[in-house]
Amino acid sequence: VPNITVDQFKGCLLAALLGDCIGALFEGKQEVPMEDLDDLFQDLVNEESTLDQLVPLEYTDDTAMLKSVAESLIRNKCFKATDMANMFVSEYFESPGRGYGQSVVDVFAKLKKVSDPFQPAREQFSGSGSYGNGGAMRIAPAALFAHQNTQHMLDIAAQATKITHTNRLGVHGALLQALAVQKALLADKRKPIDSKTFLTELKKEMKSIEKDLDKDEDESYTNKLDKIRHLLNDSKTSVKDVVRALGHGIAAHESVPTALYVFLRSLQPIPGIECDNPVSRTIQYAIALGGDTDTIATMAGAIAGAYHGLEHIDRVLLGRVEGKEYIEDLAVRLFDAVEKS
């Protein structure tokens, strides 16, 4: 059994924070020029740079909701739907300007009035539920909290997602993200990650989660995992290839597999990215893909941070973002809650 450390919890949540805050500078841009982005990152990691007027970079909905997931699990030592829903609602109404999805705000308004915390989410999109990536973007604390028991983790992750997202694609996207964070956390650090094995094991889990799906359903996460493997096999894979094959949008199925690909690709150097810190590289590459940059960078960051740990969080980069002390303390309290749960 691997020895999981509090520094991995810190790495996970701090890298998620970095991805959100830096990614938010580019959210919605269809293309992000590699060279400009590399110049920005060189500046951001340079203590002497004159970027001070730009900082602190503010976090968005991704981190705001992640905070609530973590705080609710810490306080209750288990998942409590009403409590987590209340946390989402009060966080949103205290700070509504953090770039929430267009439709999820209707859920928050309705949650104030109903007693069933799952009802408003079920009513979204004429009853089909949201397939946005808002469930997956905030799920890392649930993966850390329940990493010792996969079934328990998947159960908590599904429930935590269904407070706002009930569409199969939204829920299963959060489950894939949780599994990826758990796997990165538990990976043997004495040898490099074998991407093929990593993906094969995730595919086994997702096959079982998607067992009721039509075999040739194109939008299955099982199929996406095969696409990730193909892209990793080709050393000439470009930003455009990745976006074409996996997407970079606000839908869970067009961003969660993308984030996983970004993590695995960023284990090695990437042409056009100067920085050799693997966590910073992960975040930079996620942003280079454009689209929902904050959310893809936060998800890729969470996986990378759980694997690489606090020692690979660039302190200068971290100095530029809002909420770093709070998130580091949150990681400590989440780690303590695991030991007591």
Binding site for Mg ion (CB under 5 A): 60-62, 99, 292, 294-295
Nearest residue (CB) to Mg ion, 257 versus 309: 257
Minimum distance of ligand 8NA from residue 298's CB (angstroms): 9
Decide if 166 contacts 205 (C-beta within 8 A): no
**Residue 3 interacting entry, from Mg ion, ligand 8NA, none, C-beta within 5 to 8 Å by type:** none
Minimum distance of Mg ion from residue 23's CB (angstroms): 7
**Alpha-carbon span 92 to 96, nearest angstrom:** 5
Nearest residue (CB) to ligand 8NA, 134 versus 141: 134
Q: Does 134 bind ligand 8NA (CB under 6 A)?
A: yes
Q: Which stretch binds ligand 8NA (CB under 6 A): 94-102, 207-215, 321-329, 332-340?
A: 94-102
Which residues are CB-neighbours of 215 under 8 A, at least 6 positions away? none
The H helix count followed by the E strand count for the chain is 17, 0
Q: Does 258 bind ligand 8NA (CB under 6 A)?
A: no
Q: Which of 8, 63, 133, 220 binds ligand 8NA (CB under 6 A)?
A: 133
Nearest residue (CB) to ligand 8NA, 83 versus 106: 106
- Report helix angle 293-308 to 6-23, nearest 10: 160
**Alpha-carbon span 318 to 100, nearest angstrom:** 23
**Alpha-carbon span 18 to 16, nearest angstrom:** 5
Q: Which of 104, 111, 297, 337 binds ligand 8NA (CB under 6 A)?
A: 104
Minimum distance of ligand 8NA from residue 160's CB (angstroms): 13
Whether the CA torsion 269, 40, 296, 272 is positive or negative: it is: negative
Q: Residue 152 has which token pair?
A: 């328990």
**Alpha-carbon span 293 to 19, nearest angstrom:** 8
Nearest residue (CB) to Mg ion, 91 versus 294: 294
Residue 167 φ/ψ, nearest 5 degrees: -60, 140
Binding-residue pattern over the window 173 to 212 for ligand 8NA, x denoting contact by CB under 6 A: ----------------------------------------
Q: Does 99 bind ligand 8NA (CB under 6 A)?
A: yes
Closest CA to 242 of 227, 263, 225: 227
Closest CA to 66 of 93, 81, 84: 84
Interacting residues toward ligand 8NA by CB under 6 A: 27-28, 60-62, 99, 101-104, 125, 128, 130-134, 167, 250, 292, 294-295
